[in-house]
Amino acid sequence: MNKKVLAICDSEEAYVRKLAEYLQEKRSLPFSVCTFTSAEQLQAYLEEKKPDLLLVSQDMLDERVLRASPGRVLVLSDGSDRPELEAYPHIYKYQAASALLGEVMEAYGDEKTPVREDSIFKKNCRVIGVISPSDPVPRMLAALAAGQILAEEKPALYVCLEAFTGLEDYLEGSADRTVSDLLYFYRQGGNRLVYKMTGMLRNAGLLEVLSPPDSPYDLQEISGREWSSLFAEILRTSMYETMIIDIGNGAGDLPEILHFCTQILLVSCGNGFCAARAEQMEQFLLEADPEMRKKLQKLALPARESADEAPLRDLSKGSFGRRIRQLLTERNPDA
């Protein structure tokens, strides 16, 4: 994907530097970032280049800048807005960087002008579907650990199709929207999906997380084919080559979603009923599609083995992380 250009102009040098550092740490950000701390610098830049998105403080925004910038213009506001600029979206500059990024991407995603997406679906994408018929917590932790391990090499996205995960209190950053909101935007034919999504992301270490739905009702009547279509569009238009889909029991049409995956991880915890339930799920999947055997791996965790005590950002470490890492290496011996 060819990155678009985000230009930031504000007279506070420390503010501009810290904001740019935060944005440049977001490996999947669909923009390259350039910064300016004076109106003269910005105007000289605009004479030669045209950014796709301009984030400029209100004291540096004038007619010359507006005429020279054909892209989307967002105003960095300190709370004392100028009436003549009310036609332009305002972003409060002194909020948390994650919240600011969310507002910027939301505003850019709302733009109605069609945007050309240059990328195509990447042939080397790795999509891991993580499932379990039993306790959802070991499944979720295994999925997050796998995502963190794979994110060490390249940007990776974690998507959870289950409500009431408890994740929201442990993730880094802030976001008010969830995967349900992204699907709604996609259903409306939104052609700036990747920009909308960027503003919804939070982090668990290096792994980027699309917040799970707030309610199980959000998952009802959503077909597996529709989920697969959304995931394919994310991979087509974003920087991601790795996606972890944590598939809860509330997601409908499980075989259809797993058909989209390149790898399936079936997690069970303990013996007895838990192991029996995992065996029944495996049987069901293989009856639905015998070809799934080629990409199905089983992770049987001892009843007492847990990653609960590890910080969420460090699930890839310790004995739990080593088990997941070994499993991923077995699947990709060249890794």
Give the pLDDT confidence of 217-230 residue by residue, as tens digits: 888 778 888 999 99
Residue 141: its pLDDT value, please?
Answer: 92
Q: Domain check: are 222 and 102 in the same one?
A: no
Those residues of the chain that have pLDDT short of 70 are 1-2, 70, 111-123, 190-191, 303-310, 331-335
What's the pTM value of the predicted model, to 2 decimals? 0.76
DSSP 156: E
Q: Are 220 and 97 in contact (CB under 8 A)?
A: no
- How many folded domains does the chain comprise? 2
Q: How many CA atoms lie within 13 A of 81 on its CB side?
A: 15
Same domain assignment for residues 172 and 71: no
Token pair in block for residue 313: 């950002």
What's the pLDDT score for residue 281? 93
Domain extent at residue 95: 4-110
pLDDT of residue 214: 86
CATH number, residue 82: 3.40.50.2300
What was the pLDDT predicted at 127?
96
152 and 191 in a single domain? The answer is: yes
Please tell me whether residues 192 and 44 are part of one structural domain. Answer: no
Dist. CA 139–CA 267, nearest whole Å? 6
pLDDT of residue 303: 60
Structural domain contains residue 116: no
Beta strands in the chain (DSSP E): 4-9, 31-36, 53-57, 72-77, 90-92, 126-131, 156-161, 201-204, 207-210, 242-247, 263-269, 296-301
Q: What is the pLDDT of residue 331?
A: 62
The pLDDT of residue 306: 55
Whether 229 and 293 map to the same domain: the answer is yes
Q: What pLDDT does 4 receive?
A: 87
Q: Which residue has the tokens 């440049």?
A: 24
- What pLDDT score was predicted for residue 216? 85
Residue pLDDT, tens place only, 262-309:
999 999 887 788 889 999 999 999 998 999 999 999 998 876 555 555
Q: What is the pLDDT of residue 244?
A: 97
Same domain, 138 and 101: no
